[in-house]
Structure 1
Amino acid sequence: MSEQQLFKVTIDNITIEVPAGTTILNAARQIGGEVAPPAMCYYSKLAGSGGKCRTCLVEVSKGSEKDPRPMPKLVASCRTTVMDGMEVKNITSEKVVDARAGVVEFLLLNHPLDCPICDQAGECHLQDLSYEHGKEGTRYEFQRRTFKKHDIGPYIQLHMTRCILCYRCVFTADQLTSKREHGVLDRGDHAEIATFIEKSLDNEFIGNVIDVCPVGALTDKTFRFKNRVWFLKPVEAHRDCPTCSGKVTLWNRGDEVYRVTARKDQWGEVEEWICNTCRFEKKQTSDWVIEGPRLVDRHSVISQGHYAGSVGMHKPAETFAAVNDGRSPKLMMDIHDVSKVNRNEITLSLINGPAHSTNFNSTKD
């Protein structure tokens, strides 16, 4: 059996070897960090996804060793495969930075600025994209398009006004279920995700469209407006499920399970699909075997300040003694002599409980 052919590709001055047929986006993801272009429509687990949102545009400054000419236009990294000796610019290209800002502005033309009331806030890919690659203001002065909210089943609500037409949910329903009952209707500015004649989506795996949606267009009706994700603690859990793997992330506040989602990787993609029973009907801690805290490997408010020490976070060491030859801090002056507020024999910080009037001087100077 012949060895797999490897191609050398340089992305933002970092060289890596990847198998032939690898896309520029996936090669950049192997490098990681800011070298990896953002993606709003591409999903590695969904065949046919990508090539629609244009947020992953990159500049190919050298096509290959055999043909070193640069590509004349920016290309979608999720659909362009690498060639041996290819050189790519992502964050090091002014063209890419400018084009990406334009794409973000285009995506936000009709998107409502309702982050304060949107359940996706705090874990929204469009929020991250606009913050990192967008512009400060908007030039759009016209009325945004709006749609009515639709319940497309007992557990899912579709708010088409927020949709950016990434098609992820369409591919998910098409590839995870036996028959597809929703898709894109109309064209251009009138295009929308919809079911056939308001039909309900009730397939056992249809809840996964919520996880793949990069914005707040498809939301969990059992979780809507109940809590903010940054107030919840994500923990890994599993159960013996006959339908799916049963491996999920529970979002708890105290002992209460507010929602259940599939586990996601550092790119925000589902690791294993889960069924509706696990997602919507198992909302008791006793239904699950808790494994431990879930590390949210994203630049999100969810990962800030959670589980200090248990997911690689460490409390900073005290440096005072190190810079003062091992001496401990000491009081530089006696505050009692200066303030003349509380009695000299009482140190307020050592009082067992709150301070009362008896702890302060009642005499006047």
Structure 2
Amino acid sequence: MSEKFKVTIDNIVIEVDPGTTILNAARMIGGDIVPPAMCYYTKLQGSGGKCRTCLVKVSQGSEKDPRPMPKLVASCRTTVMDGMVVQNITSPEVIEARKGVVEILLINHPLDCPVCDQAGECHLQDLSFEHGAEQTRYEFKRRTFERIDIGDKIQLHMNRCILCYRCVFTADQITNERVHGVLNRGDASEISTYITKAVDNDFSGNMIDVCPVGALTDKTFRFKNRVWFTKPVDAHCECDKCSGKVTLWYKGEDVIRVTGRKDQYGEVQDFICNTCRFDKKKTSDWTIEKPTEIDPRSVISANHYEMEHMLPVIDKKIM
């Protein structure tokens, strides 16, 4: 058996493999002690370390060297040591720092949740509810950008972007050619395409799924419905480009959106192709499996999302 490291997170002890990050060790435990993450993405190599929402306090470095780390560290980038002791929600210092990080993320972010397609499944919205201040201390004018189309199916709202780089890593690692990225530096940084070149490849739609806010939106779904009025269902099809495993979002008997299946941390389990995402909007295109499991704390679940709501659709498909 390989060597295991013992780490304590918020007074809970777990044994993990060497090289495991504090964030992933916390995810193995689960529950409220898991730090939030806006830029880290398990399937995207090199992601993490940019948003700073996952900061934790290491009160003991290891059993061999019990000295605490002098500053808060990004849990998505810091690997565990044997005997390490970590504080997340049990540290007032971490909670206060997280409030400051959220305040910075909201400096330029518009208060347009009532009209944003990401509302109801937005991680920044959740963080703002938990750690946001009642009012901003920022006195300067917010950055504003015109909305642009980066292809015929994706619209970019740079006003909402928090520069997490997820969409850039996605294009780099699962598509043949990346034509967008982060231009300029400092407070002038923005996601854009080179000379307004369109993003056009078979997996470009996955940039929408990995975006933690409403900066990249599906033009085929824009303003069609609020997510908490829809019913998500797991389905699959035979596809020669991707796994074909998706979540269908129903309004009545109509499929109004198709996304990749996400885990409890909002990360896509299998990236899907644009054909499955944009072109297959009929129940007859899919084999229905079951209603998607929704976190009881989600506003989607608050809309009385239960299996019997989807039985007519499932029965109709089976018939």
Same topology, TM > 0.5: yes
- Does the Cα contact within 8 Å between 1:46 and 1:172 map onto a contact in 2? yes
Aligned-partner residue type, residue 274 of structure 1:
I
Of 56, 63, 66, 2:64 maps to 66
* Partner SS state of residue 124, structure 2: helix
Residues 237-263 of structure 1 deviation map (CA, whole Å, 9 limit, x = unaligned): 111111111110000011101100000
**1:78-135 Cα shifts (integer Å, max 9, x gaps):** 0000000000000000110000000000000000000000000000000001111222
Cα deviation code 1:295-334 (max 9, x no counterpart): 12373201224443679xxxxxxxxxxxxxxxxxxxxxxx
Which residue in the other structure is 2:314 paired with? Answer: none
Equivalent-residue separation in structure 2 for 1:147 and 1:227 (angstroms) = 25
1:153 Cα deviation from its structure 2 partner: 0.3
Q: Is the counterpart of residue 187 in structure 1 residue 147 in structure 2?
A: no
Runs of 4+ in 1 over 4 A off after TM superposition: none
Deviations 1:338-365 (A, max 9, x none): xxxxxxxxxxxxxxxxxxxxxxxxxxxx
RMSD, aligned CA = 1.2
Structure 1 residue aligned with 2:125? 127
* Contact 1:104–1:130 (CA under 8 A) maintained in structure 2: yes
Picking from 45, 48, 63, the partner of 1:47 is 45
Distance 1:105 1:151 in 2: 29
User: What secondary structure, in the 3-state scheme, does the structure 2 residue paired with 1:184 have?
Assistant: strand
Paired letter, 2:227? V
Distance in 2 between residues matched to 1:121 and 1:274, nearest whole Å = 22
Where 2:108 maps in the other structure, the secondary structure is: coil
Q: Secondary structure at the match of 1:197?
A: helix
Residue in structure 1 matched with residue 228 of structure 2 by the alignment: 230
Which residue of 89, 92, 99 corresponds with 1:91? 89
Does the 8 Å CA contact 2:296/2:302 hold for their aligned counterparts? Answer: no
Query: 1:139 is matched by which residue type in structure 2?
Result: R
Return the alpha-carbon distance in structure 2 between the equivalents of residues 273 and 299 of structure 1. 25
- The 1-side partners of 2:248 and 2:154 are apart by 18
Larger RCO (CA within 8 A; separation ≥ 6): 2
- In structure 2, what is the Cα distance between the partners aligned to 1:224 and 1:299? 24
Shift of 1:72: 0.3
Alignment partner of 1:172 out of 170, 173, 197: 170
Task: Determine the C-alpha separation between the residues in 2 that align with 1:269 and 1:243.
Answer: 20
Q: How many residues align structurally? A: 309
* SS of residue in 1 equivalent to 2:136: coil
Shift of 1:5: 1.4
Which whole-Å deviations, capped at 9, do the CAs of 1:138-169 have from their partners, x for residues lacking one?
A: 11222110011110001000010100000000
Q: Are residues 1:272 and 2:290 paired?
A: no
Change (3 A) 1:192 1:214: same
1:27 aligns with 2:33: no
* Deviation sequence 1:4-59 (CA, Å, 0-9, x none): 21000000000000000000000001111110000000001000000000000000
CA 1:310 to 1:17, structure 2 compared with 1: closer, same or farther past 3 Å? Answer: farther
Match of residue 211 from structure 1 = 209
Any conservation in 2 of the 1:251–1:259 contact (CA below 8 Å)?
A: yes
Q: Shift in Å at residue 193 of structure 1?
A: 0.4
| SS of residue matched to 1:129 | helix
Is 1:158 aligned with 2:156? yes
- Paired AA for residue 115 in structure 1: C
Q: TM-score, normalised by structure 2?
A: 0.95
Distance, in Å, in 2 between the alignment partners of 1:298 and 1:148 is 37
- Give the AA of the match of 2:248: L
In the aligned structure 2, how far is the partner of 1:82 from the partner of 1:175? 27
Deviation at 1:137, TM superposition (A): 2.0
Task: Give the one of 240, 243, 249 matched to 2:241.
Answer: 243
1:161-186 Cα offsets, whole Å, 9 max, x none, are 10000000000000001121110000
2, 5, 9: which one pairs with 1:4? Answer: 2
Q: Distance in 2 between matches of 1:93 and 1:71?
A: 14
> If the length of structure 1 is used for normalisation, what is the TM-score?
0.83
Aligned identity (percent) is 74
SS state at 1:95 partner:
helix
Would you say the 8 A contact 1:6–1:17 is kept in 2? yes
1:197 to 195, 198, 204: 195
Contact 2:228 2:303 in 1 (8 A): no
Measure, in 2, the Cα distance between the counterparts of 1:234 and 1:220.
16
Give the match's secondary structure for 1:141: coil
2: CA distance, partners of 1:95 / 1:111: 25
- The match for 1:352 is none
**Gaps spanning 5+ residues in structure 1: where?**
312-365
